Structure 1
Amino acid sequence: MDWDKLRIFHAVADAGSLTHAGDTLHLSQSAVSRQIRALEEALNTTLFHRHARGLILTEQGELLFDATKSMNKRLEAASARIRDSEEEVFGELRVTTTIGFGTLWLAPRLPHLYEKYPDLKIDLMLEERVLDLPMREADVAIRMKEPSQADLIRKRLMSVRMRLYATKEYIQKNGAIDAATDISKHRLICQSLSSAQVAAGTTLVRHLLSYDVPSLFTVNNYYGVLQGVLNGLGVGVLPDYVTEDFPDLVRVLPDLESGEVPVFLAYPEELRQSKRIAAFRDFVQDEIISHRRKMREQAAG
């Protein structure tokens, strides 16, 4: 089977249009169309249904597109390994993690990584959905649970707990919260129970809601929860790592917290020798050591 025709087919199937695929491939629409017809003749099948709004894959086309997607991911992985220099760290690294951890902990620390490796390009993908690393949806992930796939290298980084926080100004204005029952006098800010989140956070929120909270402000990520707390809307449920960068936060009800949430770094076995992965892994580990030291200093102070 002609590799060039498969490459053109994949671009057309991905774009849903001969014109858009041609723009991507720097080919004319007629050239793309000829290649698709030639591939269909070689396979003796129809790959696309043509209509006024574009192209739709036939059942046979879907089968071939699944195969070319898999091939493309493998080629990207091979290309990434080839591009890794023996001495230098450069090129694109696709990192995925949750919205909360990515915005509140990881992104503010990335300047330290770029200072050391200015030619590195980080593509940070923040979403609660777990991306498929072996299928190359991302190169490396930081996840709030241990990955279950066997073909991943994983390293436990640290543990996180969800705790209650408010600002100093809020406490001064609304009074101290000395017992869990006092929550019934305050607005609770938290992730909505319908949002994707760690089970430990959901359990803590359910427990707090049992105290007849009079007012609730829910957001679908911890960045939004933090903004609500910082702006004095009430008492918020937040991961404990936020206190390092937001010293104005005061912990409320220190005896009340979620269960432990493990944080893992994971990447595909095939990227074991990647210089970019090694640089990112070492950077994260160094930042966590620094984070732990600062947290200890805050606790002692």
Structure 2
Amino acid sequence: MDWDKLRIFHAVADAGSLTHAGEALHLSQSAVSRQIRALEESLNATLFHRHARGLILTEQGELLFDATNAMNKRLDAAAARIRDSEEEVFGELRVTTTTGFGLLWLAPRLPHLYRKYPELKIDLMLEEKVLDLPMREADVAIRMKEPSQADLVRKRLMTVKMKLYASKEYLEKTGVPEKLEDLHAHRLLCQSTTSAQVSAGSSFVQRLLTYDIPSLLTVNNYFGVLQGVLHHLGIGVLPDYVIEDFPALIPVLPEIESNEIPVYLAYPEELRQSQRIAAFRDFVQDEIITYRKNQRKIAENAAMQ
């Protein structure tokens, strides 16, 4: 099969238009159209439905587009490895993690990485969906559970627990609960049990809700919960790492917590030698060491009070 025709087909399928694909490829619309017709003739299949609003892939076209999409991602991976310098760190690195961890833990620490590698370009993709690393949907991931795919390099970074926190102002106004039953007199801020999240967090919230809490605010990520707590709306269910960057938060019922949530760093085996991956991995590991030291100091200070 002609690689050039596949390249043009992929551009047309991606753009949904002969004109837009031609502009991207610096080819005339007629040249693009001829290549598509020739590809359809060689496959003896119709790849596009043509109508006034543009082009829509046929079933056969969808199959071919899936294949060319996979090919492009593999080529991107190969190009990334070729571009990696043995000594310098530069270029784009696509990082995926959950919205909560990305906004509350990772993003505030990225200045440390940029100071060391100013030419690095981070594309931070925050979502609960687990992106496919071997298929190049991202280069590296920080995940709240151990990756299941066999062709990934993975490293356990730390564990997280969900706990209860509130602002000093809120507790001065409403009082400090001394047992779980006292939550009935408070507003609980948490992720909805139906939203995408780790099972330990969902189970913890379900447990709290059995105490018949009448006032509730649910948000679809922990950043929203944190904002509610900082604005004195109630007692929030938050990951325990927030206390380092928001020391004004006060732990509520500190003995009440979720099960441990493991945090893993993962990347494709084929990127093991990537200097960008190595730089990001080392950065995260250094930040974890600092985080653990700070957590010990917080625990020691709390014990002295």
| Band of TM-score, shorter chain | over 0.9
Matches within 5 A, 1:43-58: 43-58=43-58
Distance 2:16 2:290 in 1: 48
Instruction: Structure 1: give runs of 5+ residues left out of the alignment.
Output: none
Counterpart amino acid of residue 76 in structure 1: D
Are 1:166 and 2:166 counterparts? yes
Matches within 5 A, 1:181-260: 181-260=181-260
SS at the partner of 2:85? coil
Distance 1:123 1:23 in 2: 26
Counterpart amino acid of residue 277 in structure 1: I
State the 1:31 CA deviation.
Answer: 2.1
Are 1:17 and 2:13 counterparts? no
Counterpart of 1:109 in structure 2 is: 109
Are 1:276 and 2:301 counterparts? no
RMSD across aligned C-alpha pairs, in angstroms?
0.9
Counterpart of 1:92 in structure 2 is: 92
Counterpart amino acid of residue 227 in structure 2: Q
Counterpart of 2:8 in structure 1 is: 8
Are 1:80 and 2:80 counterparts? yes
State the 1:4 CA deviation.
Answer: 1.2
Instruction: Structure 2: give runs of 5+ residues left out of the alignment.
Output: none
| Percent of residue pairs bearing the same amino acid type | 78
Number of corresponding residues: 301
Per the normalisation by structure 1, the TM-score is: 0.98
Counterpart of 1:65 in structure 2 is: 65
The more displaced of 17-26 and 100-109 is: 17-26
Are 1:285 and 2:278 counterparts? no
State the 1:47 CA deviation.
Answer: 1.1
Counterpart of 2:295 in structure 1 is: 295
Distance 2:73 2:225 in 1: 36
Q: Deviation string for 1:204-230 (max 9, x for gaps)?
A: 111111111010000000000000110
SS at the partner of 1:256? coil
Distance 1:26 1:231 in 2: 53
Q: Deviation string for 1:54-73 (max 9, x for gaps)?
A: 11112221221121111111
State the 1:97 CA deviation.
Answer: 0.1
Counterpart amino acid of residue 167 in structure 1: S
State the 4+ residue runs in structure 1 displaced beyond 3 angstroms. Answer: none
Distance 2:30 2:245 in 1: 56
Distance 1:3 1:148 in 2: 34
Q: Deviation string for 1:138-157 (max 9, x for gaps)?
A: 00000000000000000000
